[in-house]
């Protein structure tokens, strides 16, 4: 017990405070966040373009924090940590405000990557991570004719679909040969690409921007690609992945390597400090964690589930973080749901559904079902999650038979 300080008032930090209280943490809990808004959900920021207010995105009701005696401190950026041993120490904010703590949780999230190329700081070259970014993006979208999205990952494609739906001419530029290259099979990428093209979005793969060109007033007017092509653009959204916010941890001497390195109990290298959510680099929590690997997971599911597991560490009944990671992405008419974590080398069994755009790619490793990518196939997604969480399977040869619903193959 004692004072529990959580730095970062996002999805993971709020869940941790809430779970720690629920599990019986007796002492004071303080959650400090750098943003001025009450903690909110980020996924809607890139989806169905939002005339949403910060209030409508709130993760918890107004009364939640006082009812659970969780101190919520907003608009304070923790700048320095002093770890004095056995997990205790002091945190100092840029304003000079200071908190001593007996246990510390770092839930500092991630920052969007930017491109180190000419014109990267022109007006109209944007990234999307927080409410402020979303407000700026929405303002631009109501006035511009051409949008170039750099990066064909989830956020880029969600914004592209939302922008095209409101009549903005949209081009997606992806350096890899396929969309969502790091995360889904090429079969799934093709289905998604076809749907975006059908919605009028231009998709260019295997090409990257060389520079952003500005007009007289410092505003972007075009994107020049490395093959020399120039795309007109009054707005550019850079969605090239995010970098973990691990500066505080590094400066405090905690081991960091693409995020704050933690074990299955979310403990950092000092054996006391906890790190969770987008900022953490953790052992793969999947039920079939072969090959053994470490990774960062940027999803609501991970923020919530890792925080829940980490709370058990704090209250002295540690349970390792295990689970089947899952993720969703809404892109125009497509609802993509992914269960499990595939490797590029995993086999793919494709089931094409009867409705247009309906597609499921089952992923197998050494004959074991390890993941699935489901497009507009929520029933398949539920079956796969069930299989993976209950150590059941979908035999590979039978699963390819699309005349039989997937759930009938579950054994
Ligand atoms: P965050 O939610 O980023 O919270 C970290 C907080 O810590 C921030 O508020 C930050 O300001 C604060 N902070 C950082 N450093 C300090 C400091 N030194 N002092 C004080 N405060 C600090 N996931 C899905 O599963 N499905 C989706 O469809 C999906 N869509 C997304 C769309 C967008 C546009 C974005 C940006 C993310 C999306 N995600 C989605 C990812 C998901 O939102 C993140 O994985 C999740 O928010 C991670 O939670 P977190 O608490 O680790 O980090």
Tens digit of pLDDT for each residue in 88-103? 999 999 999 999 999 9
- Give the per-residue pLDDT at 355: 80
Instruction: Give residue 50's pLDDT band: very low, low, confident or very high (50, 70, 90).
Output: low
- pLDDT at residue 51 greater than cutoff 60: no
Q: Is the CB of 285 under 6 A from ligand 1?
A: no
| C-alpha 263 to ligand 1 mean position (Å) | 21
Phi-psi region of 209 (alpha: psi -120 to 50; beta: other; left: phi over 0): beta
- Give the per-residue pLDDT at 48: 67
Report percent pLDDT > 90 for the chain.
Answer: 87
Sequence-separated contacts (24+) of 256-262 with Cβ below 8 Å: 256/281, 257/281, 258/296, 259/296, 260/106, 261/294
Atom of ligand 1 nearest to the CA of 35: 11
Q: pTM above the 0.80 mark?
A: yes
In which residue are the tokens 């930017």 written?
A: 114
Beta strands at 242-244 and 110-112: parallel, antiparallel or unpaired: antiparallel
Instruction: For ligand 1, atom 12, name the residue with the nearest CA.
Output: 8
Instruction: Give residue 290's pLDDT band: very low, low, confident or very high (50, 70, 90).
Output: confident
- pLDDT at residue 291 greater than cutoff 90: no
Task: State mean pLDDT over 102-121.
Answer: 97
User: Measuring CA to CA, which residue among 22, 29, 14 is closest to residue 71?
Assistant: 29
Instruction: For ligand 1, atom 31, name the residue with the nearest CA.
Output: 43
Which of the listed residues 5, 7, 8, 134 should we mutate to test ligand 1's pocket, taking the one with most ligand atoms within 8 A of CB? 8
Q: Is the CB of 9 under 6 A from ligand 1?
A: yes
CATH architecture of 342-409: 2-Layer Sandwich (3.30)
Residue by residue, DSSP assigns 81-94 as EEEEETTEEEEEET
Instruction: For ligand 1, atom 2, name the residue with the nearest CA.
Output: 10
Instruction: For ligand 1, atom 14, name the residue with the nearest CA.
Output: 108
Atom of ligand 1 nearest to the CA of 77: 19
Q: Could you tell me the residue ranges of all domains in the chain? A: 4-111+243-314, 125-240, 342-409
Q: Distance (Å, rounded) from C-alpha 402 to C-alpha 90?
A: 59
Q: Which residues are CB-contacts of 408 (< 8 A; sequence separation ≥ 6)?
A: none
In which residue are the tokens 């949780």 written?
A: 105
Q: Is the CB of 78 under 6 A from ligand 1?
A: yes
Q: Is the CB of 163 under 6 A from ligand 1?
A: no
Candidates 3.40.50.1820, 3.10.20.30, 3.50.50.60, 3.40.50.1980; correct CATH number of 4-111+243-314?
A: 3.50.50.60
Q: Is the CB of 252 under 6 A from ligand 1?
A: no
Q: Is the CB of 346 under 6 A from ligand 1?
A: no
Half-sphere exposure of 373 (CA within 13 A, CB side): 28
If one compares 396 and 268, the residue with the highest pLDDT of the two is: 268
Task: State mean pLDDT over 294-318.
Answer: 97
Superfamily of domain 125-240: FAD/NAD(P)-binding domain (3.50.50.60)
- pLDDT at residue 200 greater than cutoff 90: yes
- Give the per-residue pLDDT at 49: 62
Contact 185, 370 (CB under 8 A): no
User: Measuring CA to CA, which residue among 378, 387, 377 is closest to residue 351?
Assistant: 377
Q: What is the largest CA-CA distance in the chain?
A: 65
H or E element that contains 65: helix 64-67
| C-alpha 239 to ligand 1 mean position (Å) | 15
Q: Distance (Å, rounded) from C-alpha 362 to C-alpha 396?
A: 9
Q: Distance (Å, rounded) from C-alpha 260 to C-alpha 122?
A: 32
Q: Distance (Å, rounded) from C-alpha 7 to C-alpha 33?
A: 6
Instruction: Give residue 182's pLDDT band: very low, low, confident or very high (50, 70, 90).
Output: confident
Which of the listed residues 5, 6, 7, 11 should we mutate to test ligand 1's pocket, taking the one with most ligand atoms within 8 A of CB? 11
The reply to whether ipTM tops 0.95 is yes
H or E element that contains 163: helix 154-165
| C-alpha 40 to ligand 1 mean position (Å) | 9
- Give the per-residue pLDDT at 87: 94
Q: Do domains 4-111+243-314 and 125-240 have the same CATH topology?
A: yes
Q: Distance (Å, rounded) from C-alpha 329 to C-alpha 43?
A: 8
| C-alpha 110 to ligand 1 mean position (Å) | 6
**Using CA of residue 136, residue 141, residue 144, residue 146, what is the dihedral sign?**
positive
| pLDDT tens per residue across span 8-44 | 999 999 999 999 999 999 999 999 999 999 999 999 9
Structure tokens at 278: 């987008």
Cis peptide before 291 (omega within 30 of 0): yes
Task: State mean pLDDT over 378-394.
Answer: 93
Contact 396, 349 (CB under 8 A): yes
| pLDDT tens per residue across span 139-156 | 999 999 999 999 999 999
- pLDDT at residue 323 greater than cutoff 60: yes
Least confident of 37-51, 102-116, 322-336: 37-51
Instruction: Give residue 271's pLDDT band: very low, low, confident or very high (50, 70, 90).
Output: very high
H or E element that contains 159: helix 154-165
| C-alpha 376 to ligand 1 mean position (Å) | 26
Q: Is the CB of 42 under 6 A from ligand 1?
A: yes
Q: Distance (Å, rounded) from C-alpha 390 to C-alpha 289?
A: 15
């Amino acid at each position: 017990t004692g004072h529990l300080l959580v730095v970062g008032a996002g999805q993971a930090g709020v869940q941790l405070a809430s779970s720690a209280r629920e599990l019986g943490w007796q002492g004071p809990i303080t959650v400090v966040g750098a943003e001025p808004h009450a903690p909110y959900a980020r996924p809607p920021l890139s989806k169905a373009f939002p005339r949403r207010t910060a209030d409508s995105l709130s993760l918890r009701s107004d009364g939640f924090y006082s009812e659970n005696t969780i101190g919520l401190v907003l608009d304070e950026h923790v700048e320095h940590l002093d770890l004095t041993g056995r997990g205790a120490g002091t945190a100092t904010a840029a304003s000079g405000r200071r908190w001593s703590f007996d246990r510390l949780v770092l839930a500092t999230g991630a920052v969007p990557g930017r491109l180190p190329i000419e014109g990267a700081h022109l007006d109209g070259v944007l990234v999307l991570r927080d409410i402020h970014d979303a407000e700026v993006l929405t303002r631009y979208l109501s006035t511009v004719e051409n949008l170039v999205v750099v990066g064909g990952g989830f956020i880029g494609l969600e914004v592209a679909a939302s922008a095209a739906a409101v009549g903005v001419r949209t081009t997606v530029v992806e350096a890899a040969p396929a969309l969502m290259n790091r995360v889904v099979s090429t079969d799934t990428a093709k289905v998604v690409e076809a749907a975006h093209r059908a919605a009028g979005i231009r998709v260019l793969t295997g090409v990257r921007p060389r520079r952003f060109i500005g007009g007289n007033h410092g505003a972007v007017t075009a994107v020049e690609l490395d093959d020399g092509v120039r795309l007109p653009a009054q707005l550019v959204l850079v969605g090239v992945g995010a970098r973990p916010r691990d500066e505080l941890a590094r400066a405090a001497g905690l081991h960091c390597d693409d995020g704050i390195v933690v074990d299955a109990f979310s403990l950092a290298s000092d054996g006391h400090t906890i790190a969770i959510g987008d900022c953490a680099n953790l052992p793969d929590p999947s039920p079939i964690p072969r090959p053994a690997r470490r990774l960062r997971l940027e999803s609501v599911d991970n923020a919530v589930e890792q925080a829940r597991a980490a709370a058990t560490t704090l209250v002295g009944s540690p349970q390792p973080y295990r689970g089947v990671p899952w993720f969703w992405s809404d892109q125009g008419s497509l609802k993509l749901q992914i269960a499990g974590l595939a490797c590029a080398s995993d086999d793919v069994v494709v089931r094409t559904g009867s409705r247009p755009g309906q597609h499921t790619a089952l992923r197998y490793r050494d004959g074991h079902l390890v993941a699935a990518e489901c497009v507009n196939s929520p029933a398949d997604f539920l079956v796969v999650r069930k299989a993976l969480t209950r150590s059941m399977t979908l035999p590979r040869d039978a699963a390819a038979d699309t005349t039989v619903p997937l759930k009938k193959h579950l054994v």
